[in-house]
Chain A
């Protein structure tokens, strides 16, 4: 055997030996039990992470006489889960499926707290939701055709100088289905972002005239529809404007290829956070959903972001379709 091949085989053996030592070391650490409580056997699970359950929606507003539907999504259950629904802590007889439906909600149901308890072999989990009942029908604003004249656009870019830019247009096809609103972002290389505020010109709710707002539902569909060069993160969120300020919900949808549905329901004033405009004063209700509040203009915001300094320059396009807002009144 030559010197070179000897050296190569001993190096290989050394790394094999190191791998075996590393494996034994980790086994020794894990096998030691970590200095904790009882572990009966290596082969038997002792604590399984408990199941979880999410009630959807967590707050729901329906018109008086309408139907309220809550759905429970359980996960990490190690046996078929069982469901039990409760209202204000009291068990609802027969409500043992993953969905609970209340037909003919009345004003007495307003403010009722519903909860669902999911039980599986590895534990139980509970999730709660609130029902709001409005005496008036919701005021609905919607657009799925997106003529450019229906919308106004404003944008803020970071960095402001030589930063990202955007172009908004209407595409007559390729939506979900049919026409949709298309936003194309020119993203320079490196870290940067651009937020585009889309406000429907005729979708203005006037609390002083139409009544105080109980909650706002917002739905839209979003998709990434094209891109060249660097991939930006594209997102969409519910947005409202009031008294020169813009507010958006925390929840956002990251838009990827293929149309996805965005929905937030019964959003209260405190769930809309200031994203553009003067900071709110300490004594100011901001936004103000009461009868003395200024007119509320409705819309949505879209955003493109490069999170890495290594992101190359590129163009990304985002589509929005089936925008619908329901304003619930007290």
Chain B
């Protein structure tokens, strides 16, 4: 293959120690990274957030003795969402030619759209539209709650951007190392 640096055999990590499951280029690495990040995000809600501020994750009293993440806990979930789900989506679409960066772009767009939907004024129009079109159902209630009660924060937009970029970086590195291993 042209364009790839010649890699001395000694530098290849494809020996017996590198289990086949976790070889570079395998979807397992993005999945593991995403799962780890998601677990951190869940921990923010479990430990640092009030139980009533989330619909899915109850606060755990035994762990909520004090804030674990400090100021980072405020934006960590916004970082984690695009990071983890970009990696999961990329893992579902393995590619030998180039990493599926489109997954990062797609999840960045989704996260930004949901954040912008919380903008004052916009949120009421969206909530009203949802309610007028679909009525009140178990599916629309959480959505209207989210846009009406959530807080628009530029910091969340920046965190989402950072999360998508971090996911793209992981995909890039994993892909490069995977290509190198192919040549070992």
Taking CB atoms and an 8 Å cut-off, the chain A residues in 1-60 that contact chain B are 14, 17-18, 21-22, 24-49
**Closest approach, in angstroms, between the C-beta of A32 and any C-beta of chain B?**
5
> Contact at B81–A28, with CB atoms within 8 Å?
yes
- Which residues of A are interface residues toward B (Cβ below 8 A)? 14, 17-18, 21-22, 24-49, 76
> Contact at B77–A35, with CB atoms within 8 Å?
yes
**Closest approach, in angstroms, between the C-beta of B63 and any C-beta of chain A?**
18
Interchain Cβ contacts under 8 Å between A and B, 23 examples:
A17-B92, A21-B88, A28-B56, A29-B81, A30-B55, A30-B142, A32-B54, A33-B150, A34-B146, A34-B150, A35-B53, A35-B78, A35-B153, A36-B149, A39-B54, A42-B56, A42-B138, A42-B141, A44-B141, A45-B145, A47-B127, A47-B149, A76-B128
**Closest approach, in angstroms, between the C-beta of A48 and any C-beta of chain B?**
7
> Contact at B50–A38, with CB atoms within 8 Å?
yes
Known: A28-B85, A34-B147, A35-B74. 16 other contacts (CB 8 A): A14-B92, A14-B93, A17-B92, A25-B81, A26-B110, A30-B114, A31-B57, A32-B57, A32-B77, A33-B150, A39-B149, A40-B52, A41-B55, A45-B141, A47-B145, A49-B144
Q: Which residue in B53, B56, B93, B107 is a CB contact (below 8 Å) of A36?
A: B53
**Closest approach, in angstroms, between the C-beta of A17 and any C-beta of chain B?**
4
Interface size in chain B (residues, C-beta < 8 A): 44
> Contact at B107–A27, with CB atoms within 8 Å?
no
> Contact at A33–B127, with CB atoms within 8 Å?
no
| Closest chain A residue to B113, Cβ basis | A29
Scan B133-163; emit 1 where CB is below 8 A from any A CB, else 0: 0001010011111111111010010000000
Residues in chain B near residue A33, CB distance under 8 A:
53-55, 145-146, 149-150
**Closest approach, in angstroms, between the C-beta of B7 and any C-beta of chain A?**
30
In angstroms, Cα B127 to Cα A49, docked, is: 7
> Contact at B142–A25, with CB atoms within 8 Å?
no
Given contacts A33-B150, A46-B149, A49-B127, contact A39 B110 (CB under 8 A): no
Q: Which residue in B107, B142, B148 is a CB contact (below 8 Å) of A31?
A: B142
Residue from B38, B143, B146 whose CB has the most chain A CB atoms within 10 Å: B146
In angstroms, Cα B51 to Cα A40, docked, is: 8
Residues in chain B near residue A40, CB distance under 8 A:
52
In angstroms, Cα B144 to Cα A76, docked, is: 15
> Contact at B138–A43, with CB atoms within 8 Å?
yes
Residues in chain A near residue B74, CB distance under 8 A:
35
> Contact at B143–A34, with CB atoms within 8 Å?
no
In angstroms, Cα B127 to Cα A76, docked, is: 12
Q: Which residue in A29, A35, A39 is a CB contact (below 8 Å) of B145?
A: A39
Q: Which residue in B107, B132, B151 is a CB contact (below 8 Å) of A34?
A: B151
In angstroms, Cα B160 to Cα A62, docked, is: 60
**Closest approach, in angstroms, between the C-beta of A281 and any C-beta of chain B?**
37
Q: Does B24 contact A (CB under 8 A)?
A: no
In angstroms, Cα B84 to Cα A115, docked, is: 54
| Closest chain A residue to B45, Cβ basis | A32
Q: Does B124 contact A (CB under 8 A)?
A: yes
Scan B78-97; emit 1 where CB is below 8 A from any A CB, else 0: 10010001001100110000
Q: Which residue in B57, B89, B132, B136 is a CB contact (below 8 Å) of A22?
A: B89
> Contact at A48–B131, with CB atoms within 8 Å?
yes
> Contact at A21–B53, with CB atoms within 8 Å?
no
**Closest approach, in angstroms, between the C-beta of A231 and any C-beta of chain B?**
25
> Contact at B148–A47, with CB atoms within 8 Å?
yes
In angstroms, Cα B111 to Cα A29, docked, is: 8
In angstroms, Cα B145 to Cα A48, docked, is: 9
In angstroms, Cα B142 to Cα A44, docked, is: 8
In angstroms, Cα B55 to Cα A32, docked, is: 6
In angstroms, Cα B45 to Cα A22, docked, is: 21
In angstroms, Cα B150 to Cα A29, docked, is: 11
Residues in chain B near residue A42, CB distance under 8 A:
55-56, 138, 141-142
In angstroms, Cα B111 to Cα A181, docked, is: 54
**Closest approach, in angstroms, between the C-beta of A30 and any C-beta of chain B?**
5
Taking CB atoms and an 8 Å cut-off, the chain B residues in 15-52 that contact chain A are 38, 45, 50, 52
**Closest approach, in angstroms, between the C-beta of A124 and any C-beta of chain B?**
16
